[in-house]
A = this chain, B = another copy of it.
Amino acid sequence: MANSRFEYVKDFEQPDVLLPNTWIVVRIDGRGFHKLSDHYAFIKPNDRRALDLMNAAAVEVMKDLPDLCIAYGVSDEFSFVFHPTCQLFERRNAKLVTTIVSTFTAYYIHLWSTYFPSTPLQPPYLPSFDGRAVIYPTARILRDYMSWRQVDCHINNLYNTTFWTMVQQGGLTNTDAEQELKGTVSADKNEILFKRFGINYNNELEIYKKGSVLYRQDEDDYAQSEPKQSRSQQEKLKKLRRKAQVVVDHVDIIRDEFWERRPWILSGKPGKLPTTDSNDQKEAEK
């Protein structure tokens, strides 16, 4: 029995290959996590278990897809970055995005009980994520994208930290705290925290203030590879990336230092960490 009579329906599948030689960012977001975090009583403003679970799932995605060169997470969102030379799934948009979304979801659900041992998942309150791909033509713009997310992390965390301190320690209602914070700038919030509650925002955990950046750290030296790599070279690089350790860091990715010290991230080539550690490195190790 042939299937030819109906096979014409395949012609309706439209190509969705992403422009070559561009950075691919797949950003995923928790669906309805506001309601979900209430249901599972996430700690406000930051639930360390929830963030660690996000990072653990993201690390598995990085390990599953060696083509990924960096990822950045904050709150219930994560951005995964493919290098311009990436040819995974022939750069098909839907394939790249759904693979990341599904792999992330699978690990998030599977690892849930590790991070929330006394809070079992209760359908229909199952966490899930949506996602999308965006392409960026240059490394400069990719870095601006990463900076955009980290600035957002800072703005939101400063607001949330102040808001929840006013509510939890100051006894304000949500509405009153919201009202008082309306129109304030960073300096105002820092002052509220310090003057009223003796909290120095700078002493908050780096993971809350900076979010989480994931990348590979190789044991091997920089590969001296040509721009046009042969297939066997690409396979070799893939292998190196696969066995590289995925690091979870909480550091500034806006300034140049982070990128200059880890040139293999933007170059798309494997490389090992320079021997002397930067300050933000040390902070990350606290």
Contacts and interface: CB of A to CB of B under 8 A. Distances in A.
A107 B133 CA distance: 24
A99 interface: yes
Contact of A132 (B13, B126, B155): B13
Given A15-B15, A102-B128, A106-B105, A138 B138 contact: yes
- Indicate how many identical chains form the complex: 4
Given A6-B147, A106-B127, 12 more contacts: A1-B158, A3-B155, A9-B144, A9-B148, A31-B102, A60-B123, A98-B98, A98-B101, A98-B129, A106-B128, A107-B126, A137-B137
A28 B98 CA distance: 9
A56 to B, nearest CB: 10
Interface of A: 1, 3, 6-17, 19-22, 28, 31, 60, 63-64, 84, 93-95, 97-99, 101-103, 105-110, 121, 123-124, 126-138, 141, 144-145, 147-148, 151-152, 154-155, 158, 185-186
Contacts of A6: 144-145, 147-148, 151
Contacts of A124: 60, 63-64
